[in-house]
Structure 1
């Protein structure tokens, strides 16, 4: 049982690490919306670790459209916390 759980965690970590590669730096012309906020909330644990080592890495997009972006960001953080909470049981 523990082995299957460990394999599941490792596969999920590999998936997250493979999709969180280099993001463009600085403000772009693109305005980030709800789904971008959801994506940025999902990769928050990894971007937080990167931010500790490099202050150029941001936690949120600078050029966002406000409430929709932050709504998606909060929803995905709650989903992520629920997922990590389910792994501990």
Structure 2
């Protein structure tokens, strides 16, 4: 049991650390190299992590300011909606049994 919890904690730590590598505002994107559609998808998926990191680091944002415009927005919103709204679609609905 103890090994299982340790393994879960190590995997969670690894996941969080790998997600923090590509958050908006980390300096990867600039005016000459703006974030595009796929960066928008990635930033939408890591938005909750970016929000938490942004509390402690003022350079990190939820949304990349150096983006390609409409395509980045589309990718960002697709990821946010599918990541958060998609959870409600996959839940098992309980059927009320009539008495």
TM over 0.5: yes
Q: Any unmatched runs of 5+ in structure 2?
A: 1-6, 93-99
* Structure number with higher relative contact order (C-alpha < 8 Å, ≥ 6 residues apart): 1
TM-score (norm 1): 0.68
Aligned residue for 1:38, secondary structure, equals helix
Deviation at 1:14, TM superposition (A): 4.1
Of 46, 54, 57 in structure 2, the residue corresponding to residue 54 of structure 1 is 57
CA gap of 1:53–1:31, structure 2 versus 1, over 3 A, is same
RMSD: 3.6
Q: Any unmatched runs of 5+ in structure 1?
A: 1-6
Deviation per residue, 1:27-82 (Å, 9 max, x gap): 35212111110000011000000111122112111211111100100000012104
| Greater C-alpha Rg | 2
TM-score (norm 2): 0.62
* Aligned-partner Cα distance in 2 for 1:12–1:28: 34
